[in-house]
Structure 1
Amino acid sequence: MIQLKNIKLFRGAKCLIEGASFQLHPGHKVGLTGANGAGKSSIFAMLRGELHPESGELDIPAHWTIAHVAQETPALADAAIEFTLDGDVELRQIEAALREAEAAGEGEKVGELHARLGEIDGYSARARAAELLHGLGFGPADLGRPVSDFSGGWRVRLNLARALMCRSDLLLLDEPTNHLDLDAVIWLENWLKDYRGTLLLISHDRDFLDAIVNHIAHIEQQTLTLYRGGYSDFERQRAERMAQQQANYERQQREVTHLQKYIDRFRAQATKARQAQSRIKMLERMELISAAHVDSPFSFSFREPLAAPDPLLVLDQADAGYASTLILQRIMLTLRPGERVGLLGRNGAGKSTLIKLLANAMPPLQGKRVEGKDLRLGYFAQHQLEQLRPDESPLQHMLRLDPETREQEHRNYLGGFDFRGDMATSAVGAFSGGEKSRLALALLIWQRPNLLLLDEPTNHLDLEMRHALTMALQDYQGGMVLVSHDRSLLRATCDRFLLVADGKVQEFDGDLEDYRHWLNKQRLRDKAKEEKDKPEAAPNARAQNKAERHARLQERRPLLKELEQIEKKMAVWQPEKNQLEQALAAPELYQEADKTRLYSLQKRQAELEQQLAQAEERWLTLQEQLEALPDIH
Structure 2
Amino acid sequence: MIQLKNLTLRRGLKELLVAANLTINPGNKVGMVGANGAGKSSLFALLRGELHAENGDAIVPAQWTMAHVAQETPALQRSALDYVLDGDAELRNLEQQLAAAEHSGDGHAIGHLHEELARIDGYAAPSRGARLLTGLGFSQEGQQRPVAEFSGGWRMRLNLAQALMCRSDLLLLDEPTNHLDLETVLWLEDWLKAYPGTLLVISHDRDFLDSVTTHIVEVASQTLTLYTGNYSQFEVMRAEKLSRQQGAYEKQQREIAHLESFITRFKAKASKARQAQSRVKALEKLERVAPAHIASPFDFHFDTPDNLPNPLLRLDSISVGYCATPILQRISLSVMAGSRIGLLGVNGAGKSTLVKLLAAELKPQAGELISAQMLKIGYFAQHQLDTLRSDESPLWHMQKLAPDTREQELRNFLGGFNFRSDNVTDPVGPMSGGEKSRLALALIVWQKPNLLLLDEPTNHLDLEMRHALTMALQDFAGALVVVSHDRALLEATTDDFWLVADGTVTAFDGDLEDYRQWRLAQLAQQGQSGSPSSGDAQNVGRKEQKRQEAEARQKLAAAKKPLLNKLTKLEKQLDALSQEKAALEAFLSSEDAYNDANRQQLSNSVKRQGEVCSQLEEVEMDWLALQEEIDNLEQAHAQ
TM-score norm. by structure 1 comes to: 0.75
Aligned equivalent of 1:354 = 354
Aligned equivalent of 1:229 = 229
Mean Cα deviation higher: 292-301 or 330-339: 292-301
State the Cα RMSD in Å. 2.0
Q: CA deviation at 1:244?
A: 4.8
Q: CA deviation at 1:382?
A: 0.9
Distance 1:447 1:14 in 2: 36
Aligned equivalent of 1:38 = 38
Aligned letter for 1:480?
Answer: L
Change (3 A) 1:166 1:101: same
Aligned equivalent of 2:559 = none
Distance 1:425 1:11 in 2: 23
Aligned letter for 2:490?
Answer: L
Mean Cα deviation higher: 28-37 or 107-116: 107-116
Distance 2:390 2:400 in 1: 14
Distance 1:337 1:121 in 2: 58
Aligned equivalent of 1:565 = none
Superposed, 1:232-631 pairs within 5 Å as 232-244=232-244, 294-528=294-528
Distance 1:357 1:74 in 2: 33
Aligned letter for 1:241?
Answer: K
Aligned letter for 1:125?
Answer: A
Distance 1:299 1:501 in 2: 37
Distance 1:109 1:413 in 2: 71
Does structure 1 residue 47 correspond to structure 2 residue 43?
no
Aligned equivalent of 1:141 = 141
Q: CA deviation at 1:108?
A: 2.2
Aligned equivalent of 1:168 = 168
Q: CA deviation at 1:119?
A: 1.4
Aligned equivalent of 1:286 = none
Q: CA deviation at 1:179?
A: 1.0
Q: CA deviation at 1:359?
A: 0.8
Q: CA deviation at 1:337?
A: 1.3
Aligned letter for 2:30?
Answer: V
Q: CA deviation at 1:14?
A: 1.8
Superposed, 1:84-99 pairs within 5 Å as 84-99=84-99
Local SS of the residue matching 2:211: helix
Identity of aligned residues (%): 63
Q: CA deviation at 1:293?
A: 9.2
Q: CA deviation at 1:527?
A: 3.4
Q: CA deviation at 1:529?
A: 5.7
Aligned equivalent of 1:152 = 152
Does structure 1 residue 4 correspond to structure 2 residue 1?
no
Aligned letter for 1:211?
Answer: S
Q: Deviations over 1:28-72 (max 9, x none)?
A: 000011111111011101111111222222221111110001111
Q: Deviations over 1:301-334 (max 9, x none)?
A: 0011010001111001111112432211111111
Q: CA deviation at 1:247?
A: 10
Aligned letter for 2:321?
Answer: G
Aligned letter for 2:364?
Answer: P
Aligned letter for 2:341?
Answer: V
Aligned equivalent of 1:190 = 190
Distance 2:317 2:531 in 1: 36
Distance 2:119 2:21 in 1: 37
Aligned letter for 1:370?
Answer: I
Aligned letter for 1:461?
Answer: L
Q: Deviations over 1:501-544 (max 9, x none)?
A: 11121121111111111222233334336999xxxxxxxxxxxx
Local SS of the residue matching 1:10: strand
Q: CA deviation at 1:394?
A: 0.5
Local SS of the residue matching 1:528: coil
Local SS of the residue matching 1:326: strand
Aligned letter for 1:36?
Answer: N
Local SS of the residue matching 1:430: coil
Mean Cα deviation higher: 448-457 or 328-337: 328-337
Distance 2:515 2:5 in 1: 45
Q: CA deviation at 1:246?
A: 6.5
Aligned equivalent of 2:618 = none
Change (3 A) 1:214 1:149: same
Distance 1:90 1:308 in 2: 62
Local SS of the residue matching 2:436: helix
Change (3 A) 1:530 1:127: farther
Change (3 A) 1:52 1:498: same
**C-alpha contact (below 8 Å) 1:174/1:203 kept by paired residues:** yes
Mean Cα deviation higher: 78-87 or 49-58: 49-58
Change (3 A) 1:300 1:293: farther
Q: Which runs of 4+ in 1 moved over 4 A?
A: 244-250, 529-532
Distance 2:246 2:209 in 1: 30
**C-alpha contact (below 8 Å) 1:29/1:214 kept by paired residues:** yes
**C-alpha contact (below 8 Å) 2:67/2:171 kept by paired residues:** yes
Distance 2:363 2:247 in 1: 52
Distance 2:303 2:462 in 1: 23
**C-alpha contact (below 8 Å) 1:293/1:464 kept by paired residues:** no
Q: CA deviation at 1:426?
A: 0.8
Distance 1:29 1:210 in 2: 11
Distance 2:138 2:36 in 1: 31
Aligned letter for 2:171?
Answer: L
**C-alpha contact (below 8 Å) 2:317/2:331 kept by paired residues:** yes
Local SS of the residue matching 1:188: helix
Aligned equivalent of 1:583 = none
Local SS of the residue matching 2:352: helix
Local SS of the residue matching 2:144: coil
Change (3 A) 1:249 1:406: farther
Change (3 A) 1:183 1:249: farther
Distance 2:215 2:529 in 1: 40
Distance 1:325 1:208 in 2: 36
Change (3 A) 1:334 1:231: same
**C-alpha contact (below 8 Å) 2:451/2:478 kept by paired residues:** yes
TM-score norm. by structure 2 comes to: 0.75
Local SS of the residue matching 2:199: strand
**C-alpha contact (below 8 Å) 2:22/2:224 kept by paired residues:** no
Change (3 A) 1:336 1:442: same
**C-alpha contact (below 8 Å) 1:168/1:197 kept by paired residues:** yes
Change (3 A) 1:512 1:40: same
Q: Deviations over 1:413-434 (max 9, x none)?
A: 0001011011110111111111
Change (3 A) 1:409 1:109: same
Distance 1:531 1:313 in 2: 48
**C-alpha contact (below 8 Å) 1:243/1:249 kept by paired residues:** no
Aligned letter for 1:385?
Answer: L
Distance 2:233 2:380 in 1: 32
Distance 1:421 1:525 in 2: 58
List runs of 5+ in structure 2 lacking aligned partners: 251-291, 533-639
Q: How many pairs does the alignment contain?
A: 491
Change (3 A) 1:531 1:348: farther
Aligned letter for 1:310?
Answer: N
**C-alpha contact (below 8 Å) 1:7/1:55 kept by paired residues:** yes
Local SS of the residue matching 1:318: strand
Local SS of the residue matching 1:21: strand
Aligned letter for 1:46?
Answer: L
Aligned letter for 1:381?
Answer: A
Aligned letter for 1:30?
Answer: V
Distance 1:462 1:387 in 2: 22
Distance 1:313 1:49 in 2: 54
**C-alpha contact (below 8 Å) 1:248/1:294 kept by paired residues:** no
Aligned equivalent of 1:613 = none
Change (3 A) 1:307 1:9: same
